[in-house]
Homo-oligomer: A and B are copies of this chain.
């Protein structure tokens, strides 16, 4: 999870939300950012393209961000889940410009000891790993299986080592043809928690850090294509508070006759207000579903199913779930 909410402002890891917010504020298009909506297999998919110029505007790295929206995942219907896995698989295949037999390393980012941050390690542990099988592969699959490895490098607080140091070290030894990094995200809209998947080719860019030089996980730094797959598992509490204030102010502005009434509100220090509501631990508070344990495990299966189908051409779409470990 990249965004922290620590500075008391609402944040989102979804390019789509960032683009929509900016379009709302500007009441119009954002230069360098295009948003295309389409439907794949009956499921809403949005493609946000960010140029270098657009990157300055919305604060996301340049690249393509595909957002799969599947609100019915909440109902835990196995047929629907499999459908979502298929859509993820197709978008992943489109983003992975590597030969059919190129080796792929799946990296599960995040902290397996913090439930909301454990999506990456859960997916990494469920992906069908084949790099070591070689001659021992099932004969009917041998042509249809790509060499896949997986790794959950942990987080700085657990290992004392920057995640990217571990990944760079392993990539230099394993020499995969491409990297897929899976991570838990923070959204702005609570409706997106465990229902939205973002697939992007823009790489992973860790926060600016504490004095240590932080390498990103990008095509530039690693020399191979990097696809990031993320799912919002939380909304920062600060976002809820800020959204509440914004909505209240907008509501009142509509109700009062004269906009001059809003003058005093302009003087309200939103940051102080939120600090008053959320206290000193503001950056550490997240909003999650009560049953996050079950929901995150289900989502990890959907993502792993999508990865398996995308990475191994020999796995039929009807048997996506059979190869989840």
Contacts and interface: CB of A to CB of B under 8 A. Distances in A.
A114 B322 contact: no
Contacts of A148: 160
Given A131-B160, A255-B268, 8 more contacts: A78-B322, A117-B290, A132-B160, A151-B159, A161-B174, A190-B237, A252-B268, A255-B267
Contacts of A157: 129, 132
Interface string A234-266: 100100110111011101100110000100110
A210 B165 CA distance: 29
A166 to B, nearest CB: 6
A44 interface: no
A252 B240 CA distance: 20
Contacts of A165: 170, 173-174
Interface in A264-294: 264-265, 267-268, 273-274, 276-281, 284-294
A191 interface: yes
A66 B134 CA distance: 39
A230 interface: no
Contact of A273 (B78, B244, B291): B244
Interface of A: 74, 78, 111, 113-117, 125, 129-134, 147-152, 154, 156-162, 165-166, 168-174, 189-191, 210-211, 234, 237, 240-241, 243-245, 247-249, 251-252, 255-256, 261, 264-265, 267-268, 273-274, 276-281, 284-294, 319, 322
A316 B240 CA distance: 44
B284 A287 contact: no
B278 A190 contact: yes
A256 B150 CA distance: 57
A275 to B, nearest CB: 10
